[in-house]
Structures are given as C-alpha cells and as structure tokens.
Amino acid sequence: MRVFFLLIFMTICTVSLAQNTEVAVQIDSITYLDTAIEERVFTIHYHITNKTKSLISLVLNTKELKSNMYNSSSWIPSYRLYQNKIMVESNSIFDSKKNDAVLKKMMQDLESNRDKLNKYLLAKQKVISTTISKNIINSIVKLKGNETKSFVVSLIWDKNRYHKHFDNEYYLDQKSTYYLDLFLYFNKHELKDSLLPEDLNTILEDATIATGWLYSNKIEINFKD
C-alpha cells in the first residue's frame, strides 16, 4: 500500500512539474572501498551543470541520497538501482550494520523512555523546526551561467545479497550487471510544511530557484566480491 501511494506521489510530481531542461546532472564515477566490518562504501561522484547564461539556484541537499522507493522529499536526491535492465524495488540494499545496531539501540531507549521523549520533543519542537528550516535554506546551491559544480555522496552496502520488499525478492548475484542513476526533483511549494514562514517567503520570492525534475545517466555499480 505504501508503494502504491508513493507511485501516486511520483506521478503527481511528474505531471505537475515538467522536466527541467535548464539544468543537467551526470554521474562521473562510482568508486568503492571494502571496510574491516564487512561493508562496502560506494562513493558517487556527480556534477550538476547550469545550461543557461543566467544564475540558477537549486534547493538541494547534496550530502544525502535516498532510495526512490521511500523518498518523498523534494530537496534530497533519489537513486534508482537496476539489476541488468530491471529496477530493484527495495530500499534495504544500502544499509549499514553499524547504523542498524545504533538505530535498534535508539529505538529500545526511546520505547523505555517514551514519556520523557514526548516531553523532550514538545520542549524542543521549535528548535527542531528551526533547525530543519535553516538546513533547507543552507542547502541552496547557486550555479552561475554555464557553471558546473561537482558533488560526492556515499552509500553503504552491508554485503547482504538477499533482499525482500513486500512480495518482491532480490538476490544480488555476481553474474548480473548493476546500474545506478539519480533523480532530482525541485519544488518550492512542497517545502512549505518544513519551512518557517520567513524561510518559505525567501524561497517563494527567489525567481532564480529552479523547479522541475531530471534524471542522470546510468552507471555501473560493483556488487562482485
């Protein structure tokens, strides 16, 4: 059901906003490093180019990357993973064992201190809202006419080859070839629930901020031992 609503959301996005032809995104390379804790850290090198002669601004968090399966944010880029030519519909491929352990411990602590957590969140709600809003404002990327900027972001694979997403099962076998691409989605109005009124006005009144969506090229990613 969640996937259904996500597909509806993505359909609405692409219908309401046209493909952006003023900006281009391209993956340059995907390198990797195997760690001592049986993880593979992929580093994605990509660049964004302003194809116009005028200044363009993008509300874009270039420090994160989320699966297109569950990314409902318009300011965090999405990745799509393909096994040969078939899209892998799972958001669990790039997980860290270390992060999972930390998250499990955090959830246990939160469950045992639920009352304290609720009081804390109520007390810190304004601070949290301000932090999120300012993070979005500070994420704005400005590109001069014909300017290109390069970015680097990482994904972690815990070397688990079997994944299941609802009724879909995937095995990352070594005989297959895998590809990854990026999806960028820009929308001013969708950020209204995450922005303070003054920050929302800043974005809505900035005529240089681009809207629309675009995909990058596909590039091979190595899941072989």
| pLDDT over threshold 60, residue 217 | yes
Output the six-digit token pair for 32. Answer: 């990797």
- Note the residue count of the chain: 225
Is residue 46 within 8 A of residue 183, CB to CB? The reply is: no
Q: Where are the domains of the chain?
A: 2-221
Model confidence band, residue 131 (pLDDT cutoffs 50, 70, 90): very high
Model confidence band, residue 159 (pLDDT cutoffs 50, 70, 90): very high
Q: How many other C-beta atoms lie within 10 A of the C-beta of residue 179?
A: 19
Q: Which residues, 6+ apart, have CB-to-CB distance to 132 below 8 Å?
A: 194
Residue range 102-113: average pLDDT?
A: 63
| pLDDT of res. 52 | 98
Residue range 131-148: average pLDDT?
A: 96
| pLDDT over threshold 60, residue 3 | no
Q: Provide the mean pLDDT of the chain.
A: 86
Residue range 169-197: average pLDDT?
A: 93
| pLDDT over threshold 80, residue 119 | no
| pLDDT over threshold 50, residue 5 | no
